[in-house]
């Protein structure tokens, strides 16, 4: 296998483009294009309001399943084959969703698109990053997961004009876009992914896991719980909660999308420059402040302030992915074990995201539609993620003192 340093630049950018296309199709569009479709699905009487929320959750449940089966699927076939199959599955799901045959039919296809998203999230970085020089991996993973940000931004710009053609045509339009991206990336995937990985993993299998890895799993889970309210309720909060109207609500979603485009590459660059551990700490502090400020916003809050908060919040969901991935690479030197740790991190994230999705919806209904309460809980979850590192440091210190005092 060629060493990454001698790989020509064009050969590096092709797999990165394929990775970007995969994250754009499977998460960017499959999950986030659904949000602006919700009012139309209800108005067109395709489904009731309660069914639409339930169908949105199907994607999150599928994402968890995909995170669990991604690696076994790749072991049966290959990373590249699994990634291509998952992109085809999402494309098929878009076309199938153009036919509202029944709630269970729609649920099944939304679930499948979530499965594809989870599997791609687990596999895409492991397939592409071995071909990128180590010093540029943060930036490269940022570029791969930029697809999520483009999907969030695109959901606010592509879906409204498509809806003018009709709801069925919107699903078909998303399917065609997905098909084009699948075809464009088909031959961009790298041919070989670390043939030495299996041999090395057997030698290193006795190496104990760094406790920092388990800390990351826990932090990543609480980050997932912290990002759900803004992702789901931001537009509704601004439009109805603050009484700013649907137009301003839509504008805030565009700003959130702008943040989602900026997030992955800037957070990845930060990880390359400052190291992932310090970068995670900085990002959590900024996010906790932003979510906290959002919870105390009022109808008198300046539009500019809300816009800045929306950009900061939007940078978080896709931005923490390259950060967490960089942290896995810092803690674990072996490629095969990195893959295992990353799929476990994705499972912990997906689990908490799915649980949080249902829990926040229940809390929102129980509190009579109290948005600010959700943001307070979210800020609390981010603070917990931040405090976990301090707690672990204290435990380690106590453990060292106890060990030192023992004769």
At 376-394, the pLDDT tens digits run 999 999 999 999 988 888 8
Tokens describing residue 265: 């590459």
At 54-95, the pLDDT tens digits run 787 788 889 999 999 999 999 999 999 999 999 999 999 999
At 210-262, the pLDDT tens digits run 888 999 999 999 999 999 999 888 888 888 888 888 788 888 888 999 999 99
At 349-371, the pLDDT tens digits run 999 998 998 888 888 888 888 88
At 291-301, the pLDDT tens digits run 999 988 876 67
Q: What is the mean pLDDT of the chain?
A: 87
CB 254 within 8 A of CB 133: no
Rounded-to-integer distance, Cα 210 and Cα 335, Å: 15
CB 16 within 8 A of CB 144: yes
In this structure, what DSSP letter does residue 190 have?
Answer: -
Q: Please report, rounded to a whole number, the percentage of residues in the chain having pLDDT higher than 70.
A: 92
Q: Which of 179-188, 196-205, 366-375 has the lowest mean pLDDT?
A: 196-205
Indicate the burial class of 73 (C-beta count within 10 angstroms; 0-12, 13-18, 19 or more): buried
Name which CATH class applies to 10-189: mainly alpha
197 pLDDT above the threshold of 70: no
Residue 8 pLDDT: 58
CATH number belonging to domain 209-394: 1.20.1250.20
Task: Supply angle C-alpha 141, 319, 328, rounded to 5.
Answer: 55
CATH 1.20.1250.20 residue ranges of the chain are: 10-189, 209-394
At 198-220, the pLDDT tens digits run 434 434 455 667 888 999 999 99
At 119-144, the pLDDT tens digits run 999 999 889 988 888 888 888 888 99
Q: Where do runs of H (alpha helix) occur along 296-370?
A: 303-331, 335-366
């Amino acid at each position: 296998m060629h060493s990454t340093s001698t790989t020509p630049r064009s050969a590096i950018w092709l797999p990165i483009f394929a990775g970007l296309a995969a994250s754009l199709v499977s998460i960017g569009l499959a999950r986030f294009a659904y949000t602006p479709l919700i009012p139309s699905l209800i108005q067109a009487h395709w489904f009731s309001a309660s069914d639409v929320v339930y169908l949105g959750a199907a994607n999150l449940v599928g994402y968890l399943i995909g995170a669990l089966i991604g690696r076994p699927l790749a072991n049966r076939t290959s990373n590249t084959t699994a990634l291509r199959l998952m992109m085809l599955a999402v494309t098929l799901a878009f076309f199938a969703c153009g036919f509202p045959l029944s709630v269970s039919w729609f649920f099944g296809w939304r679930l499948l698109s979530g499965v594809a998203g989870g599997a791609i999230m687990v596999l895409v970085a492991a397939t592409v990053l071995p071909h990128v020089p180590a010093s540029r991996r943060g930036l490269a993973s940022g570029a791969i997961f930029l697809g999520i940000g483009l999907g969030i931004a695109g959901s606010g710009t592509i879906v409204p004009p498509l809806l003018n053609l009709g709801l069925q045509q919107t699903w078909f339009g998303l399917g065609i876009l997905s098909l084009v991206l699948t075809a464009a990336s088909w031959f961009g995937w790298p041919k070989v992914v670390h043939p030495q990985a299996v041999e090395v993993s057997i030698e290193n299998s006795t190496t104990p896991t760094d406790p920092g890895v388990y800390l990351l799993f826990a932090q990543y889970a609480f980050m997932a719980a912290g990002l759900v309210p803004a992702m789901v309720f931001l537009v509704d909060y601004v439009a109805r909660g603050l009484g700013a109207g649907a137009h301003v609500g839509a504008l805030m979603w565009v700003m959130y999308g702008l943040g989602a485009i900026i997030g992955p590459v800037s957070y990845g660059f930060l990880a390359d420059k400052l190291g992932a551990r310090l970068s995670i700490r900085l990002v959590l502090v900024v996010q906790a402040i932003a979510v906290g400020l959002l919870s105390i916003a009022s109808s008198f809050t300046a539009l500019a302030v809300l816009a800045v908060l929306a950009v900061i919040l939007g940078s978080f969901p896709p931005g923490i992915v390259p950060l967490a991935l960089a942290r896995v690479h810092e803690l674990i030197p072996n490629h095969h074990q990195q893959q295992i740790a990353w799929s476990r991190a994705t499972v912990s994230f997906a689990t908490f995201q799915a649980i949080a999705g249902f829990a926040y919806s229940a809390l929102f209904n129980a509190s009579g539609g109290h948005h600010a309460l959700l943001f307070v809980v979210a800020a609390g979850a981010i603070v917990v993620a931040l405090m976990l590192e301090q707690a672990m440091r204290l435990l380690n210190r106590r453990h060292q003192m106890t060990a030192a005092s023992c004769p």
